[in-house]
Amino acid sequence: MGHGWGSWGASWVWSLALVAITIAMHVAGVVFIANAIESIKANLLRRGLSYLDGTPGTIAVMVAVALLLGILHAIECMLWAFVYVLLGALPSPADASLYSVDSMTTRGASGLQLDRQWRLMGATEAGDGMLLFGISTAFLFYVMHRIWIARLLKSDSQSAGSRS
């Protein structure tokens, strides 16, 4: 392959397509998780229960959300890995998976390199990973904030009720 900009054309196309697909997947996953939390919360409230009644419930919700987000990140890494193998950028699914996780997390220490014409994809995947982890971090903060506010409001209403 040449060393001009033209040799990276396919790399840009694949990279931008994968960024768009993984961000769409991630947003859909976050919406699914948020809807599941609301559904579980509504079911518990109908039964007169609350997952906000104590610290263990809050921890359980946060751990479940974090694990689901971790699974989502793994699926997104595997999509990139699949494309690397499909393009012949890496020789095996195992190498492609390791390279993808390494790139997505921006660790960059696997020692693996994409074939020259596909190297731009590794850098682009790292940028994609920053966006995806940013979305996950914001969502975790949002969930924690909502739980904390709900607990504070419940505590305030119980305190006001006991003063009456």
Over residues 8-22, the mean pLDDT reads 93
pLDDT for 49: 74
Dist. CA 79–CA 140, nearest whole Å: 23
Residue 20, pLDDT score: 98
CA gyration radius for the chain?
Answer: 21
pLDDT tens across 25-76, in order?
999 999 999 999 999 888 888 888 766 667 888 888 899 999 999 999 999 9
Measured between alpha carbons, how far is 108 from 101 in angstroms, rounded to an integer?
9
Q: Are 120 and 8 in contact (CB under 8 A)?
A: yes
1 pLDDT tier (thresholds 50, 70, 90): very low
* pLDDT value at 110 more than 80: yes
Residue bearing tokens 């001009």: 4
Sign of CA dihedral 5, 92, 25, 137: negative
Rounded CA-CA distance 146/140 in Å is 10
pLDDT value for 87:
95
- Helix, strand, coil tally for the chain in percent (to 5): 80, 0, 20
Contact 84, 77 (CB under 8 A): no
pLDDT digits (tens, 9 = 90+) for 116-159: 889 999 999 999 999 999 999 999 999 999 888 887 777 666 66
Q: Which domains does the chain have, with CATH numbers?
A: 15-22+54-153 (1.10.287)
User: Which of 19-23, 54-58, 70-74, 109-113 is predicted with the least confidence, judged by mean pLDDT?
Assistant: 54-58
Task: Determine which helix (DSSP H) or strand (DSSP E) holds 37, and give its type and residue range.
Answer: helix 9-46
CA angle 128, 133, 137 (to 5 degrees): 150
Map residue 1 onto helix, strand or coil: coil
Q: Which residues contact 136 (CB under 8 A, 6 or more apart)?
A: 26, 30, 69, 72, 73
